[in-house]
Structure 1
Amino acid sequence: MQQDFLYEPICNAAGCQLSVTVLADRDYLREEMCADASSAGFRVLDSCSLEEYAQGPLTALGDLVLVDCSEATADAMALLSRLDMRGGKAGAHLVISTTMGALDSVFGCLSMSAVQILVDPARAERVIAIGRVLALLPNLRLREMGEDDRLMLLRLTEQVGRIAERLELMSPGQRAGGGAFRFESPSPGWRGEEDDHSGSRKRTERVQLPDSSIIRRLIKARQLRAQYFDAGLFADPAWDILLDLAAARSERRRVSVTSLCIAAGVPATTALRWIGQMVDADLLMRVSDPHDRRRAYIALADTTADAMASYLAEVGAAELASV
């Protein structure tokens, strides 16, 4: 039986209740989204279809914007781009639900705002996304949480915490006094064993990624485990993402976000969460299509590519792949 979570109105530091804009073409879904946002304490500012909102007068944007966009039509993508720009300027949080078929187009429209993209989500996933927004909004005036509230918040944030911890362990260096996940070059005064007496460091040859066929064989070997064991035992989307992008870089091939979600081997919404965390950690980077600004790809950051090349050389990837 589903528990009914009802919260008092959520207000900012000035005492004003936070608002939500709900945009969905399907009536039943729009009603669900309004009900869930209202239950979480938001005031419904606007609730209509995407077309009605796009053709209506320009109105204030809610602190939270819930959008269901199942088809990548030109009008829908234009509206998403507008919402992304307005959300980025106003500090609004966007939660966009879409389909795998429309994912690449939707992803390409969203680069300026704080956004969560959900792929074919269940209602519970939308509720969790609203909970994550509440955890991120600053200067809230909330009632004191009870024990049930605390347990629910712990469950909502547990997965995000695990992602952050695992990414932090992957990073070869952290910036002193700064955030985690930052690659750091040696300081100007650093001297290693290869430095000569004059203080100049000897130039070493840069390690290159192995041929993509070698990396693809490693990926195939990882995937074969699912034929003999429960795939959940080996779920490691971050590593699968890095391997796929390393192979693509070796092939000089661009990788769409949809393709990368498939390569991650986990539900698309989970993969998008990992990709977002890894972009924020500077492990990956978002690359715009020079011929179509509405499209974007994911690639390894140069420092990540160097780290992958060094790792694969260290473990003897070519020898492992030939076994």
Structure 2
Amino acid sequence: MQADFSYEPVYDGAGCQLGVTILADRDAVRAQMRDDAVAAGFRVLECCRLDEFASGSIAALGDLVLVDCLVADAETMALLARLDMRAGKSGAQMVISTGMDALDAVFGCFSMSGAQILVEPGRAERIIAVGRVLADVPNLRLRELAEEDRLMLLRLTEQVGKMAERIERLSPGQREGGGAFRLEAASQAWRGQDAAGGAGNGANLPEAAAIRAVIRRRQMRAKFFDADLFADPAWDILLDLAAARAGRERVSVTSLCIAAGVPATTALRWITQMVESGLLLRIPDPADRRRAHIALADSTADAMARYFREAGIGSSQQIAAVA
């Protein structure tokens, strides 16, 4: 998809054109991101390498921050953590591009800003991410947009809306004092159960081997049919985390994206929505606070345990066929 779209400049409530900060070490990607941001109506405030931005004088962030980061060294992760904190306080929107090798480290840097994280994206995916940012800008005037781009953004909006509705239905129940999209921290009881040598999985889940067998049966269908026919990332995520909890294992974001059976960027959108809904928890790695793991919330684990009981899945010898 070519960047043949063009918006009127976008302004904030004070009438100032919205600015963008672009950070990328790859020259071609940085130039491409700049062209697309300008075409979308943003004013470029910074456009440089990550190390150049880190070593320069502190400047105000743009309303949008675009980052391309494939290296997970200490200096880069420290910069990303600072950007997350600044964006979280200022309300800036962040779009981060990374690769599978650096995904766990990059994901662990973002807990305050609600960043969109894209995994090995093409140009079209980056443009869509910018489009999602623009969708939140009030009174945006569209001057020209190619039909292909318009349809792609429409499909994305529909996809995200359906995802939120589906997760809302999946949520084990409304939290007291808020809706299903209220974020809760892990309970002290869960932390104790998760520790090595803890007392069971705390939700009467089946043996991990029994849940893994269900997962293998689901994956077996891809030998006979197109795997896209059965794509169900939310359920695959829940199954993988249930097996991990039953076996008292920690799950990284990278491994969970693989388990979801969909492209990593799509899997990350599901994981983010499920964390925001309270179905899943983001757990800091005790050995490295810059990293994070994903786990079932206690209420979700209880719901999964009830499902397995009704499905007749209680041990590795009691596995029922699951649709």
- TM (normalized to structure 1)? 0.87
Name the counterpart of 1:269: 265
Aligned counterpart in structure 1 of residue 140 of structure 2, from 134, 139, 142: 142
Give yes or no for the alignment of 1:214 onto 2:210.
yes
Aligned counterpart in structure 1 of residue 225 of structure 2, from 222, 229, 244: 229
Give yes or no for the alignment of 1:250 onto 2:246.
yes
Question: Counterparts in 2 of 1:275-290, with a 5 A limit?
Answer: 275-290=271-286
Alpha-carbon distance in 2 for matches of 1:35, 1:2: 11
Name the counterpart of 1:191: none
Check the 8 A contact 1:167/1:181 in 2, yes or no.
Answer: no
Name the counterpart of 2:74: 74
Identity %: 67
Check the 8 A contact 2:3/2:39 in 1, yes or no.
Answer: no
Name the counterpart of 1:303: 299
Which residue identity is paired with 2:235? Answer: W
Please state how far the C-alpha of 1:14 moved relative to its aligned partner.
Answer: 1.4
C-alpha spacing 1:32/1:145, structure 2 compared with 1 (3 Å): closer
Please state how far the C-alpha of 1:58 moved relative to its aligned partner.
Answer: 0.4
Per-residue deviation, residues 190-246 of structure 1 (Å, max 9, x unmatched): xxxxxxxxxxxxxxxx86101001000000000000000010010000000000000
Alpha-carbon distance in 2 for matches of 1:60, 1:47: 13
Per-residue deviation, residues 54-107 of structure 1 (Å, max 9, x unmatched): 000000100000000001011111110110011111111111100000001101
Per-residue deviation, residues 109-128 of structure 1 (Å, max 9, x unmatched): 11111201100000000000
Name the counterpart of 1:293: 289
Q: Secondary structure at the match of 1:142?
A: coil
Name the counterpart of 1:202: none
Name the counterpart of 1:133: 133
Which residue identity is paired with 2:266? Answer: T
Q: Secondary structure at the match of 1:101?
A: helix
Please state how far the C-alpha of 1:175 moved relative to its aligned partner.
Answer: 5.5
Which residue identity is paired with 1:143? Answer: R
C-alpha spacing 1:165/1:269, structure 2 compared with 1 (3 Å): same
Please state how far the C-alpha of 1:145 moved relative to its aligned partner.
Answer: 7.3
Higher relative contact order (CA 8 A, sep 6+): 2
Name the counterpart of 2:112: 112
Q: Secondary structure at the match of 2:115?
A: strand
Q: CA RMSD in A?
A: 2.2
Check the 8 A contact 2:253/2:293 in 1, yes or no.
Answer: yes
Alpha-carbon distance in 1 for matches of 2:122, 2:6: 19
Give yes or no for the alignment of 1:321 onto 2:319.
yes
Check the 8 A contact 2:312/2:320 in 1, yes or no.
Answer: no
C-alpha spacing 1:172/1:293, structure 2 compared with 1 (3 Å): closer
Check the 8 A contact 2:3/2:36 in 1, yes or no.
Answer: no
Q: Secondary structure at the match of 1:156?
A: helix
Alpha-carbon distance in 2 for matches of 1:210, 1:83: 42
Higher CA-based Rg: 1
Give yes or no for the alignment of 1:122 onto 2:118.
no
Which residue identity is paired with 2:247? Answer: E
Alpha-carbon distance in 2 for matches of 1:70, 1:235: 28
Structure 2: gaps of 5 or more residues: 184-201
- TM (normalized to structure 2)? 0.87
Please state how far the C-alpha of 1:176 moved relative to its aligned partner.
Answer: 8.7
Tell me the matched-pair count: 299
Q: Secondary structure at the match of 1:103?
A: helix
